[in-house]
Amino acid sequence: MNIHSGPLKQALLGLIPNLRAFAVSLCGDVERADDLVQETLLKAWNHLESFQEGTNLRAWLFTILRNTYFSDCRRRRREVEDREGKKAAELAIHPGQQGHLDMQDFRRALNMLPPDQREALVLVGAAGFSYEEAASVSGCAVGTIKSRVNRARTKLTEMLGVNTPREFGPDSSTEAIVARTAGGTRLP
Amino acid sequence: MNGKNGFTGPTGPSEAQMKGESGGGRRVRQPVGKRPAGCAEADMEMENRPDMQRAPRHDSQATGMIDRSLQAQLGRQLRAIFEGIEEEPVPERFVKLLEALEAREKQR
């Protein structure tokens, strides 16, 4: 296939920084992110016939990457929940005490969001996709993306908000984690 | 610093307070020293607004103001993470991978 030559390689190379940023924001782990990017590049190269020329290559690559990530997540759900539980246990977000929201707090809070909400927030809030494009990448309705973004924002605000320290103080946070780990349910 | 994110917009009775705050003429009923040093802008807003300082947690209007300011801050942090990674050079493994794929293609 002619399209496999130089131009495609250049196009893929040019999109790697964007893909990596998406992958890291999505999974919160640079090593895993680079594995996701690698798998995405391989799949894209090997399934190029399913890409419709003239459509958005970036959106197509993002779709492959997020599908890879979510099927990966399903496969290792328990492991992921354990890892998130540990992260949550280390989490002590007290902007009121500490005086500012540092980047570390933000990263932790972002990683605690349900993956579908995190994905929607990153696509719309950082990667610059429209709600429609984000919906197409995630394979869901535009309304679903909007509601995920809203829920993600609300949840981050709750987790990091200066006005709700009690809800996410060490005690209730630990309780929530215990409840979550035991029941397998997500934070409210 | 206050209001720079454009989220202090024309909603609710607190607008006048925001203006008073930026003018620096608003009286502070509670001593400023109550909060620890090095406060973020959200905290600064709290200090300068006695009504909010004493407001119950479920005061949705007061909470809404803080939430908007905080959300703008969260948005900046999200983009900062994203852009920070984008600016990193492409790891060598990907350059090699694409070269290998291209070479394999040419052999066919």
pLDDT in tens, A77-122: 766 566 666 555 554 444 444 445 578 889 999 999 999 999 999 9
Per-residue confidence in pLDDT tens, chain B, 108 aa: 333 333 333 333 443 344 434 444 444 444 443 434 333 333 333 334 444 444 444 556 666 666 677 778 889 999 999 999 999 999 999 999 999 999 988 887
**Residue A45, min C-alpha distance to chain B (Å):** 8
Task: Please list every residue in chain B whose beta carbon sits closer than 8 Å to the beta carbon of residue A162.
Answer: 40, 42-43, 46, 66, 70
- The closest CB to that of B93, out of A1, A21, A38, belongs to A38
Q: Which residues of A148-181 are buried (b: 16+ CB within 10 A; e: fewer)?
A: bbebbbebbbbbbbbbbeeebeeeebeebbeebb
- The closest CB to that of A99, out of B38, B74, B85, belongs to B38
Q: CA torsion B6→A95→A112→B88, rounded to 10°?
A: 70
Q: From the CB of residue A65, how many other CB atoms can be counted at a distance below 10 Å?
A: 25
Task: Please list every residue in chain B whose beta carbon sits closer than 8 Å to the beta carbon of residue A106.
Answer: 74, 77-78, 81
B34 secondary structure, DSSP code? G
Distance of CA B108 to the CA centre of its chain: 53
The ipTM, to two decimals, is 0.71
**Residue B54, min C-alpha distance to chain A (Å):** 11
d(CA A170, CA B32): 26
Which tokens hold the place of A176?
Answer: 């929530």
Q: Which of B35, B43, B70 to mutate to test the interface with A (most CBs of A within 10 A)?
A: B70
* pTM for the whole structure: 0.64
- The closest CB to that of A16, out of B79, B81, B94, belongs to B94
Pick B67 or A52 by higher pLDDT: A52
Q: How confident is the model at residue A50 (pLDDT cuts 50, 70, 90)?
A: confident
